Amino acid sequence: MSRTQIRTDIDGSIATITLHTAEGINVMSADVLRDLQKEVKTVAGAHGVRATILTGEGKVFAAGADIKAMASFNADQAAAYGKLGQEVLNDIESLPSITVAALNGAALGGGMETALACDFRIAVKSAKIGLPETSLGLVPGWAGIPRMTKLIGAARAKKLYLSALPISAEDGVPLGLIDEVVNGAEDLMPRVTAFCQTFKRGAPQAIALAKRAWRTGDDIAAFAECFGTSDAKEGIAAFLEKRPASWME
């Protein structure tokens, strides 16, 4: 099987990171994780990016970790793989732009953990999602348990990762795991692109600081830091002058 490749496209204020494999099954080996990390860092440093879309091509969004490689792991190798996965997903979570996982197909195991590192998730109706690791005698190792717990609560999260049962994207909506569902692949990217536009009203620097406050729980520090930004000066001036704010892109 060929290795999963990562492609990044930046169109105006929207960056799209795409996983693609010739066979259509995206698997996140250690090398793929490193490639993904490079692309995420490129997007983080790109000027004017307001939204980042993470998606896949083929049958799945991401089938998760490389099970064949893990078959020969010892505990130290497993720890290194888990640490790498967490570093990459932390980089995704730390992006200053709005992040949306566009689930073109199944997001299971490491694929679901990757989607959980994004701010939002929009999926095709046919997508299956979940954390099935316990059915392999394993546990999610890329911070999927704490991220899912923070998102939907301990009781709902435990039911999913302890049962190892996948659920449909539609069933993920009332849980809060999925934000929106579209009928098919042809509807996915147009809807995700339109969804990203709904955040244009927010100031880029304020959005980045609000995301940091969510991660760290320190909203006072984020609030105080706003007052040293050009966005806060413009936003307050625009409010007082009764005009639309104009953000520096």
- Residue positions annotated with a catalytic role: 113, 133
As a whole number of Å, the CA-based R_g of the chain is 19
Q: Which of 127, 110, 109, 113 is nearest to 180 (CA)?
A: 127
